[in-house]
Structure 1
Amino acid sequence: MAQTVDTAVRLGAKVVSNSYGARENGLALSYARSYDRTDATIVAASGDSGFTAASYPAVFGSVVAVGGTTLFKDEFSPRGWTEITWQLSGSGCSAYVTKPKWQKDKSCGKRVTADISAAADNIAIYFAEAGGWLTTAGTSASSPFIAGLYGRVGAKPAPGALYQQASALFDITVGANDRDGSGTKCGGDYLCNAQPGYDAPTGLGTPNGLAAFK
């Protein structure tokens, strides 16, 4: 899979989205070079296992790690929507990857995922071989959505720049991703609970237009 990233960039891709992941390990670190680019923005799904070990390749500090939310229509809110943490949105504290200088959270001394999130639950897709419209879920859906926004504005090195534009995102403050939704697996910490500002399940928040990506 690392070779596919190299190939995509060699052929001219300015944004590469990766809808796959595996539990981080020492072997995975040997592939970090393929995801550390100055010539393209690399985006990856944070995983669909809730709060657990960090996922490769999203855990690399050069990659925009994308978590997931559940989005509800809400006619009573100014936005018109209510958004909470998707219960399976992947988050984790790395055991290997050095904490990037732009990540300032306190409970993990190394890299934390995710950086940003987007709707990942009850996503409508058209699949002709399965009979037409159906719904699916996963950060494998939210990751390419974020990649598309980078494509709209012109890719640039990330994800550090996102942390300078956090005010341009919708801050997600409700929900947990520790399977039962109790938020207790991480001791009530931001590593598995949404909170004002940065939290691991939803990162800095969800897109509010394109401002955060410019």
Structure 2
Amino acid sequence: MSSRRHRLTALAAVVLLACSAFSAACTPQHRAVIAGPVAALLADSTDLGPSASGDVQLTVTLADASGAQTLTTWAAARGLWVRWRAGNEWAVVEGAAADVARVFDVPVHDYRAPQGRVFYASPEQPDTPTELRGTVTAVGRIMSFTPYRTKSPGFFPLDVPKGGLTPQGLVDAYNATPLIDAGFTGQGATIVFFAFDSADQADLDMFADTSGLPRFTPEIVGGQPAEQHGETAMDLQVAHAIAPDARLVVVNARPTVEGDGPYEKLGALFESVNRDYPGAVWSLSIGWGCEAFVTAADLAPVEAALAAAQRRGTSVFDASGDTAGLECKGGEQWSAPPGPDDVGLDAVASLPAITSVGGTTLSTGKNGQWLAEHAWVDSPLSQGTSGGVSKLYERPPWQKRLTVARDTQGRRLAPDVSAVADPFTGVRFIFGQREMMGGGTSQSAPIWAGLTVLMNQYLMANGGHQLGNINPLLYRVAAGSRLPGFRDVRRGGNAVDMAEAGYDLATGLGTPNTYNLAQNFLDLQRAGVR
């Protein structure tokens, strides 16, 4: 760790020494060297010198949509251009690297990552230009590197004790059987999975045939990804086990991490899915980097697209991550001892509008009944449920009543809820024509997506409506409801936090008692609570 600190110190020194040569207006009070994982990435990469890119971009947020014209005029006078769409309270400023560096008074260099990828980045956080203060509220990062990954443990056990959780065992464990027995099986509903890999139809058929479920063929949007790692196969089969009559859609999200502007691309992808599948339930089991790599301004396109989808009844579940609370750690440094800079949240899962799903180890009886759960962690493999305190977002209203010792500034807390994630107590699925056991919070997210489809059907059949942004209702139920909606997880922990009574940063509010939750949600909807 000491050598890493020396590299970061040296990087900061080089940046500051270059200040006077770069710009006469460069003064210490507006030179914000980015520390943490970004500095570590740049220190481990090869600096290729000032970027030669002809198109560098950064996202800005606006005080209101009327500021777009002011921003456009300002940019044009300085050799830059702006992309903006009417009504948006964010915009993208673009230009040649040299011009962006000059206008925002920060260096922009090209780097070669240890894996060989070349990207542009600034080691400093650009400030809002003086002329735009009052118009622009925040400025994003200048960086075309996105440290994306799939949120799964990276392996699936081949020895499946007693076959793993069967579809019946899964719905029994989370008390969804009364909904299924009442005829709520997903008919007419849609679950959308955002994925980086694909699934083999032969595996899906084998799972359905050996589980006593109807065969299904998912719709593919954006082309079939070439790679197969088991992630998408698991997600589809888990959701099908819960809601066997739901339409399942796989959206190829890989283009969002090809080139720069990943969060603008992700926002556009969300908009497209919302347009084509209104009111669907979404499941995300992939990550677009931890919070330390971005600012809230970078995520503005994603946040706006989420809000629009939720207004049409969409609920969104995102895996909290499998790094035991160390979401800013990974890549080539995975085996190094963890440090403070490694602690953090997945950037997209930290959005207040997302329901972040953590993971547990599940114990069931011989007949599949729920016995106990504790926070999932596997110390030898440096894996486990992730969660923590956001550095980007303030505490949303529905979390205001919570008290967490590690949060002294009133920030967004994650995860919100949990489900089984331990790959040694997971759901049976088929991959490569072999039985395997699912795992990771990438299993937990589609579990909640499938259960939400059943709850939506129950609500609509009883005069209610789709849940949409489910977070406010989850916390309202936890604060006090007619029926216990959650199984509180009080044992275990991850590398940073411990599970405890009530809300905690390892498992959130707990795991679902689905039928009770559905009845509580109906009570709230009848009372006019949203």
Contact 2:455 2:514 in 1 (8 A): no
The alignment status of 1:84 with 2:374, answered yes or no, reads yes
Cα distance in 2 between the residues matched to 1:148 and 1:50 = 24
The alignment status of 1:159 with 2:471, answered yes or no, reads yes
Amino acid at match of 2:290: R
The Cα of 1:28 is off from its aligned counterpart by 4.2
SS at match of 1:61: coil
Structure-to-structure mapping, 1:36-185, within 5 angstroms? 36=307, 37-39=310-312, 40-51=314-325, 52-74=343-365, 80-87=370-377, 88-103=384-399, 104-107=402-405, 108=407, 109-122=410-423, 123-129=426-432, 131-154=433-456, 155-156=466-467, 157-166=469-478, 167-178=484-495, 185=496
Cα distance in 2 between the residues matched to 1:50 and 1:2 = 27
| Alignment partner, residue 283 of structure 2 | 17
The Cα of 1:112 is off from its aligned counterpart by 0.8
Contact 1:15 1:147 in 2 (8 A): yes
Identical positions, percent: 29
Query: Which shifted more, 25-34 or 200-209?
Result: 25-34
The alignment status of 1:203 with 2:508, answered yes or no, reads yes
Which structure's residues are more often strand, by fraction? 1
Amino acid at match of 2:398: W
Structure with greater contact order relative to length (CA < 8 Å, sep ≥ 6): 1
The Cα of 1:121 is off from its aligned counterpart by 1.2
| Alignment partner, residue 187 of structure 2 | none
Cα distance in 2 between the residues matched to 1:10 and 1:210 = 30
RMSD, aligned α-carbons: 1.9
Contact 1:35 1:60 in 2 (8 A): no
The Cα of 1:125 is off from its aligned counterpart by 3.8
The Cα of 1:58 is off from its aligned counterpart by 1.3
Cα distance in 2 between the residues matched to 1:15 and 1:100 = 22
Unaligned runs of 5+ in 2: 1-265, 326-342, 378-383, 457-465, 479-483, 522-530
Cα distance in 2 between the residues matched to 1:140 and 1:2 = 21
The Cα of 1:33 is off from its aligned counterpart by 1.5
SS at match of 1:53: coil
Cα deviation digits, residues 16-41 of structure 1 (max 9, x gap): 11111220221642322122232211
Cα distance in 1 between the residues matched to 2:270 and 2:451 = 19
SS at match of 1:148: helix
TM-score (norm 2): 0.36
Residue-pair matches, total: 198
The Cα of 1:84 is off from its aligned counterpart by 0.4
The Cα of 1:47 is off from its aligned counterpart by 0.7
Unaligned runs of 5+ in 1: 179-184, 186-191
The Cα of 1:6 is off from its aligned counterpart by 2.2
Contact 2:429 2:438 in 1 (8 A): no
